[in-house]
Chain A
Amino acid sequence: MKTLLLTTVLTFAAGAALAGGHACYEGKTLTEGKLTVATGNPAYYPWVMDDNPASGMGFEAAVAYAVAEEMGIAADDVTWVRTSFDEAIQPGAKNFDVNMQQYSITAEREEMVDFSSPYYSAAMAVLAVGDATSTPAELSALKELKWGAVGSTTAVPKLIETIAPTSQPLLYGDNADVTAAMQAGQIDAALFDLPTALFLSAVMIEGSKIIGQFPAASSETPDQFGMLMEEGSALKECVDAALASLTESGKLAEIEAQWLQDTTGVPLIAE
């Protein structure tokens, strides 16, 4: 009964959106009337809960459904696919309309693909292990650590340009490998976006601690996550409009508050 009601409401809402002339997405998605969203394989907490994006649980899953709804696409019409980063950027036809995997928006990437306007501004955080957990949150001290990062993330330029470690950092394929290297004592610290760092510190790496963050807002080039789309995607304006109205209504901030931990209390790194 409840399902029926929900469906009716959603159908009505979609109909209303159509009637209101909001059907911006029409003719612009892979499958008419449906939104295909890509996530990682596997997708990680807290971005997607239990590797099950269709549940709508987790920050990126929730944002995807909110954007779809805002565009006038029913939840049932949102389908999920999985891609790697390389699949996301390879030339040729894409198998998704939008791809959400904490992709940071950069000018260089934007030459090759399109990004929506940002749905999250991520602070970069320093996760340290062992003796390094007592390192003060100052650049001069951080320089001396043995650093690691995931090679495919914007943590790499941040690390090299801002922290500029004295010994060459080690780079890895994914979060799991960075975790392994920390546990093996091969690196003292690694740079992640703050929500990921919070998750790794709480759940994955025993004895680790977040010793500081580079606040997203104060940074010259803030790390902002956008939905990745094929270059020249016609859908971009619809997605951007949806995100703008979600921001305005405070809905986006609500989702963030629900799924991403409170990040206050992590000390800021002194220049």
Chain B
Amino acid sequence: MSRTRRQIYEDKLRRRSLLIAGASSLAVFAAVIILVPLAPGWEKVAKSFFNWSVFQRTFPGLIEAFLQNIMIFAWSAPMIAILGLIIALMRDVRSPVLFPLRIFGAAYTDIFRGLPVILTVYLIGFGIPGLGLPRPWNSPYIWGTVALVLTYSAYVAEIFRGGIDSVHTSQRAAAQSLGLSERDTMRYVILPQAIRRVIPAQMNMLIALQKDVALLSFIGPVEIFRQAGVFKSLMANFTPYVGAAMIFLAVTIPATRYADYLMSRQAKERS
């Protein structure tokens, strides 16, 4: 199979750009590896942040603590999705009788998107159990999760609502002209299209949630961030934080790549 003139030209271009990209990355990498250690404080920084023996001693403990993050994430995410959808639907109700629901939905999203997550975690995590709930109902796991769910469902609701709004009104008209109820119109016509459209955006929320689970450490649970802090204090060494960062990246980078892939695929579909 002979190649056209254009294909040959493009191949040449591609080879050259690969070469340039490769060489420049290598140069930057080499510069970092060679120059940074020449800095006067490098030896101390290396001992404090990249201490192999500390890393070896703490990494298994960090992995174990990370299981807590995964657990909290795993039970929070479905609740966030469900509550987010409910709030989004509340904000979309058209019946005047249900107007208070719309107000509630709007106030809800305004409040919980307006508060820093850590503040919500503190206020709910210590505040509600302080009212005198008996154990185990005052557990920081429960109320920390509640705080995450409240905050994240507000963001997720807004994304769902954007998806619902992005479905053209003619779809609603078509469904209603067939005699479908408001409910069925939403459930069978609007939502399936809306949800499909917002999946990449919601993936990004999941990645953000996965990181914010660490905020629960402030009210007691010993997840990876707190565990790294304990190791840091005991050994007066920051290497456990580097270990924790590596564990986070191992999860979030593939997830971010996947979300980007979904996003670009969707952009292609729509064009």
Contacts and interface: CB of A to CB of B under 8 A. Distances in A.
Interface of A: 85-86, 89-92, 106, 108-109, 111-113, 146, 148, 151-154, 156-157, 168-173, 177, 180-181, 183-187, 231
B235 A112 contact: yes
B126 A184 contact: yes
Nearest to B128: A184
A90 B129 contact: no
Contact of B230 (A146, A156, A181, A231): A156
Q: Please name the 7 residue pairs, one residue from A and one from B, whose CB atoms are nearest each other, closest first.
A: A170-B220, A91-B44, A152-B233, A184-B129, A112-B236, A109-B236, A91-B48
Interface size grouping (class) on chain B: 20 to 34
A183 B234 contact: no
Contacts of A106: 234
Contact of A146 (B135, B234, B236): B135
Contact of A111 (B126, B139, B140, B235): B235
A173 to B, nearest CB: 6
B255 interface: no
Contacts of A180: 126, 130
Most buried by B among A154, A157, A170: A170
Interface of B: 41, 44-45, 47-49, 126-127, 129-130, 132-135, 138-140, 217-222, 226, 229-230, 232-238
Contacts of A181: 126, 140, 219-220
Given A91-B45, A173-B218, A152 B133 contact: no
A191 to B, nearest CB: 13
Contacts of B221: 170
Contacts of A111: 235-237
B139 A156 contact: no
Contacts of A91: 41, 44-45, 47-49
A108 B129 contact: no
B220 A108 contact: no
A183 B130 contact: yes
Contacts of A171: 217, 220, 222, 226, 230
B72 to A, nearest CB: 14
Contacts of A108: 234-237
Contacts of B218: 172-173, 177
B220 A89 contact: no
Decide if the interface of chain A is mainly helix, strand, loop or mixed: loop
Contacts of B217: 151, 171
A168 to B, nearest CB: 7
Contact of A152 (B139, B230, B237): B230
A92 B44 contact: yes
A113 B218 CA distance: 27
B43 to A, nearest CB: 9
Given A184-B126, A185-B133, A109 B235 contact: yes
Given A170-B221, A171-B220, A151 B133 contact: no
A148 B238 contact: no
B150 to A, nearest CB: 18
Contact of A113 (B41, B129, B132, B236): B236
A108 B53 CA distance: 11
Contact of A151 (B126, B230, B237): B230
Contact of B220 (A90, A92, A148, A231): A148
Most buried by A among B49, B220, B235: B220
7 contacts: A111-B237, A112-B235, A152-B232, A170-B219, A177-B218, A181-B219, A184-B129
Nearest to A113: B236
A90 to B, nearest CB: 7
Given A112-B47, A151-B226, A177-B218, A85 B233 contact: yes
Nearest to B134: A185
Contacts of A146: 135
Contacts of A184: 126-127, 129-130, 138
B137 to A, nearest CB: 10
A62 B120 CA distance: 40
Contacts of B222: 151, 168-171
A180 B235 CA distance: 27
Contacts of B235: 108-109, 111-112
A170 B48 contact: no
B220 A185 contact: no
A157 B234 contact: yes
A170 B140 contact: yes
A154 B217 CA distance: 18
Nearest to A185: B138
Nearest to A148: B220
Contacts of A185: 129-130, 132-135, 138
A153 B219 contact: no
B47 to A, nearest CB: 7
